[in-house]
Structure 1
Amino acid sequence: MMTEGDMYIPTYEDMLDAHKRIEPYIRRTPVRVSDYLNELTGAQLFFKCENFQEPGAFKVRGAANAVFGLNEDQAKKGVATHSSGNHASCLSYAAMRRGIPCNVVMPRTAPQAKKDTVRRYGGNITECDPSTSSREATFAQVQAATGGDFVHPYNDPRVIAGQGTCAKEFMEQTDGMDMVVAPIGGGGMISGTCLTLSTLAPQTQVIAAEPEQADDAYRSFKAGHIIADDAPKTIADGLLVPLKERTWHFVSTYVSEIYTASDQEIIDAMKLTWKHLRIVMEPSSAVPLAVILKNPDAFRGKRVGLIITGGNVDLDKLPWLNAA
């Protein structure tokens, strides 16, 4: 058990327990490689395809850990959360698998594909304005009305421990890596990656990748304290939320560097991976490759793992169709 002040920080043992708990409800997603992308970057790239999870995103790991960790009395009232999409989908999926209700607050601007997925898994959606303040205020009303267990999208020890199972699998599926690069919004995946690798492979650097137009984690990292934006706008809609206390603990302690990429660079990287990996991924998932292409000297000659965090994208609104 590890605490920082009154805040519980999940441990490596929590991650191992989570992996046992969620194994029946998740997929051990494959790792893909591309000779073309290796040649283009000068690095040996390994892509962990979390877009192949049943709900289409890595967040099913943390969501399932929270849902299946509830006792029977807690489970009766179900779960509740706020999310721009993937956490809502994944929590709805996990709740459906356990047969309990799930209430979610989503920005009205969230992609229709993500709203459709939530509803397909039985989640009840309440819409809010596209800002952190509106999201949290609306959620307070929903939780008061339902009494569901609050599963925060990322600032929850159960969620962070669940997300850490991805890096455990990743290391088992490769012969070790010099770096692992993952997108950063609120920091759940990055925190889980830090949690696992700091014990399992402490020599492996953890790099965070962030959109330039939602670069609060980058600015926080450089300033040494959390800087939160209320309503950033970027094509990477899964990375619009700020760091919180638990995720900041992991980012400030273990992350080696945060790199940023512009929306156009993200779109270009997304198009490259669609073409050469031949898989569907969303803009947030393209940010790691975008920062590698933008900062080649930092990665050249290295074995680099990239986590493709999700594949829930509106196929009628692909970003390059509207790009100038």
Structure 2
Amino acid sequence: MNHIQVVVEDGIGVLELSRPAVGNAIDLASARELSSAARSLVADPEVRVVLVEAAGDHFCVGGDVRAMAEEPPSWCSEVATTVHEAVLALHEADRVVVAAVQGAAAGAGFSLVLLADLVVATPATRFIPAWSRIGLTPDGGASWLLPRAVGSQRTAAMLIGGKVLEGTEALDWGLVTELVDNDPRPRARALAASVAQGGWRAAGATRRMARTAWDIGLPGRLVEEASAVGTARAGNGPLLEAWLPSRRHVATAGEATKPGTSLRAPFAGTVTVHVSVGDEVTAGSTLATVEAMKLDAPLTAPRDGTIDAVRVADGERAEGGEVVVVLR
């Protein structure tokens, strides 16, 4: 039925909710597709990071209420059980999960957001614990995930009191990591790409340990951390070696290079892209390539202009070639 779209590209496993006509509401068919998609992505060795996004104006309005009213109570349990297969797959994955959330994230859609490590939303995005409004209890793991994210009292305010959060308050509560003014999907995809191109195995191990922090005592976790850091060192040697002083590019004040010039990372300095008003620059233009980190620095907020020069100022460090866009 194609209620869920799955694409794997450049190490990013995209799971897209694709029932926009009904706000990506979850019925039994879409729950089954969601379960299959999530389990296949986290099992795919080509997937370095999982990106959850949705077509249309809303991320997910939760369960399909019309179908709930028409089907027997056992139908709700079957849908929840099937969705929970996806929840477990994403929660236990050794991959970072990124989510782009627009419009409404309600009910089970809200639960999906809680499974993400990096969440990009807008100030107008609404996080709605819809269960109590229709006399239901939470599903999708919300009663377990939400207290760990915001604490018991705030959980009660949402799950019992029905408190709805909009973007800014969700950011304050720690449910969102970043807000953008418009469509959150491009920014979420850029974050996913940065994870996929860096030390993604170490990042995945870190997210797994963080998500199970309440399930293990400190002595056991210290043993696990000691083992994990050795594994990460064995797998990410080039990234570590790139930070050695002998490999570091130290810029002089006012040093300039042409757009597209390769910069060896890490380097001391910030990168500023000077753009002349009146010429054309397209979104995603590569301004500088950081060779050792295998990262690109795209122009994320394009305006009319020509890339005049990339200037590296002496002083502050730019992690992995961060780009500061300056319009003039």
Shorter-chain-normalised TM-score: which range? under 0.3
Using structure 2 for the length normalisation, give the TM-score: 0.25
Q: Greater CA radius of gyration, 1 or 2? A: 2
Bigger relative CO (Cα 8 Å, ≥ 6 apart): 1
Greater strand content: 2
Greater helix content: 1
Using structure 1 for the length normalisation, give the TM-score: 0.25
